[in-house]
């Protein structure tokens, strides 16, 4: 029971890692328990939006995947959606891991000097489904 409580309180960057290949999907959330349940539901029903992750799940099977806690983000502000701190942490990890060519994510953010200013409304809208 403690483990579930910890997951529901985890806000930060996580990964869904294929233990056979080492490839990983990286995401960010403010409630990992709920987010992990949603990913598994979509993957089990063949409806995940990351096609490469869905294909690997369908071929390798659910038992080939594990949830990885990458970074807990302490600057989370519950009244402001996911907040810029979580977005920055996610972007940092996506950029780091994209250099290793191990990501299932099809959208990789641009380098920091190429990123435009994002409003809180845009951030909240982009993560409304999480």
More confident: 77 or 10: 10
Decide yes or no: CATH 3.40.1440.10 for domain 2-126.
Answer: yes
pTM, entire model: 0.76
Q: Could you tell me which residue, 126 or 46, shows the higher pLDDT?
A: 46
Tell me: the pLDDT tens digits for 43-93? Answer: 999 999 999 999 999 999 999 999 999 998 876 555 455 566 888 889 889
Q: Which residue in 86, 90, 95 sits closest to 114, CA to CA?
A: 95
Name the pairing type of β-strands 12-18 and 65-72.
antiparallel
* CA–CA distance, 91 with 104 (Å, rounded to integer): 15
């Amino acid at each position: 029971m403690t483990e579930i409580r910890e997951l529901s309180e985890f806000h930060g960057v996580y990964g869904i890692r294929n233990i056979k290949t080492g490839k990983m999907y990286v995401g960010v959330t403010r409630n990992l328990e709920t987010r992990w349940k949603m990913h598994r539901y979509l993957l089990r029903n063949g409806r995940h939006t990351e096609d490469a992750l869905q294909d690997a799940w369908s071929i390798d099977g659910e038992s080939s995947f594990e949830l990885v806690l990458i970074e807990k983000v302490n600057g989370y502000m519950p009244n402001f959606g996911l907040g810029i701190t979580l977005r920055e942490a996610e972007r940092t990890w996506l950029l780091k891991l994209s250099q290793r060519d191990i990501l299932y994510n099809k959208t990789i953010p641009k380098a920091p000097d190429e990123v435009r200013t994002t409003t809180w409304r845009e951030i909240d809208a982009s993560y409304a489904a999480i």
